[in-house]
Amino acid sequence: MKTKNVLDLTDLSHKELLDVIRLADEIRKKPSDYADACRGRILATLFYEPSTRTQMSFQTAMLRLGGTIIGFDNPQNSSVAKGESLKDTITVVGGYTDIIAIRHPMEGTAAAAAMYSPVPVVNAGDGGHLHPTQTLTDVVTLHNELGRLDNLTIGLCGDLKNGRTVHSLIKTMSTFKGNKFILISTPELTIPQYIKDIINASECTYEEISSLAEAMPNLDVLYMTRIQRERFASEEEYQKQHDVFILDKDKLKAAKKTMKILHPLPRVDEITVEVDYDERAKYFEQTVYGMYGRMALIMTMLEKGEKEFPSRVMPTHPFRCNNPKCITVTEKYLPGVFREAGGDMLICKYCDGRRLI
Ligand code: CP
């Protein structure tokens, strides 16, 4: 694999992604062939935010490959509680291990960690920004359940503003031809403009609507999402949104018999339990596909083997990111890092936030 880190799944070329998907399938069919694939290698899972699936599937993935794991699932039990910076934590953990999976509430954290890590970094979710290994989970599921990743009509429903799984999934599925995204949300929770720009620049299309029932008959895939309570400014704002879209048996009557229902989980109340018994519900199978996807990704990322220590030259930039949720707000030593977007516009390389020069 050309890239050292996976901050988003689009860091992989199409060929690299398809190779990982194929490897995940091979491992799923014959896991015993891979039981020693990562013998002697160590994965660190640094989870500054709660998780069930991502953390445990990374851990089981490494254990099933014969490797071992270290890490924390509560930074208050580490020296983060004493004020240790992200830079120092990553530098030290990178010295102990062979690969790091990191989840953090601030956007762009994985990109910041990658700047200082001598070992590959995987983004296990950075605030409301991106979640590439959930997308890997999703594409392994779609590849197995539908046999293709192109020319699909994909409904994405719920919190499209804060849902990092939605952002990463659209970015990756936009690289396949002919996909049509039906974006189903309230006006308050629509998809960020930069994601719409990515679709507009691709060979895919999108439509924004506010009715799940209206979208249902045309969908090949329905990707339901949780309203992200932890990303709201107030409980009052969350209460206005949390039960707007609920998938139940009745609504499913209008759907294609072949439609697949996905959800990154955890579910709260946006899918009723009765739907779990419908053949089209694939969200629990999805969690298992995700573990094999992570096994394949870990193996691929560890192919290179040797550590790459970061440059001793301290980077600087005159501008700071304006996004209040960007990691540069809380880790103030981080240099501004931008790419130019034409005109006076700069895009923050950590969090994709826009600012003018
Ligand atoms: N899908 C997902 O990221 O789940 P967890 O938050 O439980 O890891």
pLDDT digits (tens, 9 = 90+) for 275-302: 999 999 999 999 999 999 999 999 999 9
Regarding whether 163 and 77 lie in a shared domain, the answer is no
Task: Say how far apart CA 260 and CA 282 lie, in whole Å.
Answer: 6
Regarding whether 194 and 113 lie in a shared domain, the answer is no
Q: Percent helix, strand, coil in the chain (nearest 5)?
A: 40, 15, 40
3-class secondary structure, 29: helix
Q: Is residue 273 part of a domain?
A: yes
3-class secondary structure, 18: helix
* Residue nearest atom 5 in ligand 1 by C-alpha distance: 51
Look at the chain and report how many structural domains it folds into.
3
Give the residues surrounding ligand 1 with Cβ less than 6 Å away: 51-54, 125, 134, 264-266
* Residues of the domain holding 346: 327-356
Regarding whether 174 and 270 lie in a shared domain, the answer is yes
- Split at pLDDT 50, 70, 90, the class of 231 is confident
Q: Is residue 159 part of a domain?
A: yes
Q: Is residue 28 part of a domain?
A: yes
Q: Is the pLDDT of residue 357 over 90?
A: no
* Residue nearest atom 3 in ligand 1 by C-alpha distance: 54
Strand segments (E) across 200-277: 205-209, 221-224, 260-262
Best of 54, 73, 134 to mutate for ligand 1, by most ligand atoms within 8 A of CB?
54
Structure tokens at 182: 């039906």
3-class secondary structure, 331: coil
Regarding whether 186 and 122 lie in a shared domain, the answer is no
Q: What percent of the chain has pLDDT over 70?
A: 100
Structure tokens at 181: 């995204």
The sheet that has 354-356: what strands, in order across it?
338-340, 345-348, 354-356
- Per-residue confidence (pLDDT) for residue 42, from 0 to 100: 98
- Per-residue confidence (pLDDT) for residue 140, from 0 to 100: 98
Atom of ligand 1 nearest to the CA of 131: 3
Kindly state the helix (H) or strand (E) to which residue 348 belongs, with its residue range: strand 345-348
Lowest-confidence segment of 64-73, 103-112, 230-239, 258-267 by average pLDDT = 230-239
Cis status, amide bond into 266, omega within 30 of 0: yes
CATH number for the domain that contains residue 40: 3.40.50.1370
Regarding whether 69 and 179 lie in a shared domain, the answer is no
pTM to 2 decimal places: 0.95
Best of 137, 265, 271 to mutate for ligand 1, by most ligand atoms within 8 A of CB?
265
Residue 266 Cα to ligand 1 middle (Å): 6
Residue 56 Cα to ligand 1 middle (Å): 9
